Chains A and B, each alone.
Chain A
Amino acid sequence: MAGGYSLSAGGITIANQAVTLTWVNPIASPNLDLSFRRFWINQSNNMTAVNLRWQLNTQVTAFPTVVNQAPNKLAIADSASLITGNTTGAAGTCGINASLENAGAKTIIYADSFNTTNGALLVLTPEEIIEMAAGAASGLGMHLPVAPGTLTGWVFGCVWTED
């Protein structure tokens, strides 16, 4: 608790559809809030450059069905994250590379596009930090709203602090 954590993956093959790449759902209240500091997305294969849309969005239940992946702590001295890996996307869990987006409504809070050979890095300034409070009804996803032409070799992640 009270440290910095990352949810990151590489060499990922995604489905040929809109995909939530990272999904983090705050834990039940009362507990620490999640402050998202950084997001990145890139493609590690050699491929033709194309522009691709990406977005950050919140989603209420039903949450996406994701691949179980636990967060890693950035500092070895920190305690483990409050968030645990799971496939359900439920409160207090996280995961990657959604296989099903499910029916929960998405609210876009940041939308951009990037060149796939350059990737995208979003480092939020202190005023822009995305706060997901404990007990929130929604989780936060990094999302590709349109399937990319090349589905293999995706590298992406996010960083948050718990405080």
Chain B
Amino acid sequence: MSDDNHLLIGRANGHLFRREDKTESYVVIPPAHIITDSDGAAWTFGFKYNGYGEINVLRNDVDTGEFAERIEYRRGQVRIFGKAGWRTFSRSRRHFI
């Protein structure tokens, strides 16, 4: 989602977030609140918990169906960590692998 070639626009907590640049590598949620990837997508945690202390992972306010303890941006890839270990968001923008 973008209305400008140089502006990254994502959605989190029901609000649009505009960023000039994607998030820097090694930023981790928490303690960060949001990660902006190179698509402009905003990554945040939702309000659902599972029984392992993990929280549901949202991309542009849409539940990805995944739970994790943390979300990290590294070398242009979104990674999540949970009881299944580290997983990386696929290049197809559909799955965590």
CA distance A114 to B7 in the complex (A): 22
Is there an interface contact between B20 and A121, defined as CB atoms closer than 8 Å? no
Known contacts A74-B47, A123-B45, A157-B13, A42 near B33 by CB under 8 Å: yes
CA distance A88 to B54 in the complex (A): 37
Is there an interface contact between A112 and B17, defined as CB atoms closer than 8 Å? no
Q: Separation in Å of the A78 CB from the closest CB of chain B? A: 13
Residues of B at the A interface (CB closer than 8 Å) are 7, 12-21, 23, 27, 29-36, 44-45, 47, 55
Q: Separation in Å of the A94 CB from the closest CB of chain B? A: 18
Residues of A at the B interface (CB closer than 8 Å) are 4, 6, 8, 10-11, 40-42, 44-46, 74, 112, 114-115, 117-123, 155, 157, 159
Known contacts A11-B15, A40-B33, A112-B31, A4 near B7 by CB under 8 Å: no
Is there an interface contact between B29 and A121, defined as CB atoms closer than 8 Å? yes
Cβ-closest chain A residue relative to B29: A121
Q: Separation in Å of the B55 CB from the closest CB of chain A? A: 7
Known: A42-B33, A114-B32, A119-B34. 17 other contacts (CB 8 A): A8-B13, A10-B13, A10-B15, A44-B15, A44-B17, A46-B18, A74-B47, A112-B31, A114-B33, A115-B32, A118-B34, A120-B31, A120-B32, A121-B32, A155-B12, A155-B13, A155-B15
Q: Separation in Å of the A154 CB from the closest CB of chain B? A: 10
Q: Could you say which residues of chain A place their CB within 8 Å of the CB of B55?
A: 123
Q: Separation in Å of the B38 CB from the closest CB of chain A? A: 15
- The 4 A-B pairs of least Cβ separation, nearest first, read A119-B33, A10-B15, A118-B32, A121-B33
Is there an interface contact between B33 and A44, defined as CB atoms closer than 8 Å? no
Q: Could you say which residues of chain B place their CB within 8 Å of the CB of A114?
A: 31-33
Q: Could you say which residues of chain A place their CB within 8 Å of the CB of B23?
A: 117-118
Cβ-closest chain B residue relative to A112: B31
Contact of A46 among B20, B31, B33 (CB under 8 A): B20
Q: Could you say which residues of chain B place their CB within 8 Å of the CB of A118?
A: 23, 27, 32-35
Task: Provide 30 A-B residue pairs closer than 8 Å at the C-beta atoms, listed in order of the A residue.
Answer: A8-B13, A10-B14, A10-B15, A11-B15, A40-B33, A41-B33, A42-B17, A42-B33, A42-B34, A44-B15, A44-B17, A46-B7, A112-B31, A114-B31, A117-B19, A117-B21, A117-B23, A118-B23, A118-B27, A118-B32, A118-B33, A118-B35, A119-B32, A119-B34, A121-B30, A121-B32, A123-B30, A155-B13, A155-B15, A157-B13
